[in-house]
Structure 1
Amino acid sequence: MSRKRVAILISGRGSNMSALIEAARAPDYPAEIVGVLSNRAAAPGLAIAAADGIATASLAQSKFPSRDMFEDVMTQILESWNVDIVCLAGFMRILGDDFVNRWAGRMINIHPSLLPLYKGLHTHERALADGAKVHGCTVHFVTPGLDEGAPILQAEVPVLPGDTPETLATRILVEEHRIYPQALRLLASGAI
């Protein structure tokens, strides 16, 4: 079986990254994690990936005169790893159209809401403010429009009386760690 080569883009602790790395350890998993790239050198996820023997790189967008130049260097790094698929896992940067279009159909993201509801940030606060009875997460294809790509998998979580953004986020994260590896399996195996 030829496994797809996957890079993960992170900005922080990389808990979804860790779930993908763990899934890829299975011999029958159709993807291997070959690199982790962060826009923050201090992202804790970089040390986790390096400890697993995965190539890592960090790039600060502030060091580049433009987003295009930053993304050109990101592309060079991804190409040096011979990447087939890019997974965003808490990568807190809006990506430019050229970069997104280059990876069209091969770049996915996990978002903490049941898209198309609550695109962007502060999803848990907004769901609670709206009195939502159900919330959740979505793995979707990345397109130029923010959180507008076609969904691959979703998981619902009930909103409980007394929930705070933090308690809701904790329960949703469990589902994120479950469905993100499933969605990557579907993409890497050619099922979608």
Structure 2
Amino acid sequence: MTYTTEQLIEILEQELRASWKGERVLLSAEERFNDPVLAPLLGSHKIGKVYAYREFREQVHQYQKDHQVSGLVWRTCRFKGQTVRYPELHNQLIALEQDKEILLQSKASVLEFWQQTTPGLKFWFAGHDPQAITPELVEQLAQDAEWAEVDATLTELYLGLCWGNPQECHYQWAMPESGCRRIVAAPNRPSLIKV
């Protein structure tokens, strides 16, 4: 029997808890992390915990590849009485080739949800200093994106327009090969809530 995505997530969570409790330690961690400043500060025990979990997670990733177990989880977003269900890469798993195809296929339903729930709202690039943008720019950015994600607060809707590698798209260092532009729809200037 092959483990499911949900089972792999639970296994990883159990292993992470065990690592942080000190039940899993990699004894050769000092050899792998020999930073002269940070290593003494963190201590070999903490470094061992991190590397023990990291190695275990790499084994889970190999299992995913070997058994073609998806790294996607399904999320539900509700806003203004509307609901959308869409796939998202779990932050501790990897995306298989077919996972990216599923992300691409879900783009239309996420954008349809965005269009149904944002009339009357203003659009902004998300960030520490939100910049107002036009609906036309949002539409252009949406066309350029490979897949879309969405999150909501009570009064704001956040759209992620993503491309490239699903495992790297949320990291600045991955630009321009991978990325995710975040747009906020809000009645006024958006709050600085991190969603």
TM-score, normalization by structure 2: 0.24
Answer 1 or 2: higher relative contact order, Cα 8 Å, separation at least 6: 1
Structure of larger gyration radius: 2
The structure whose residues are more often helix, as a share, is 2
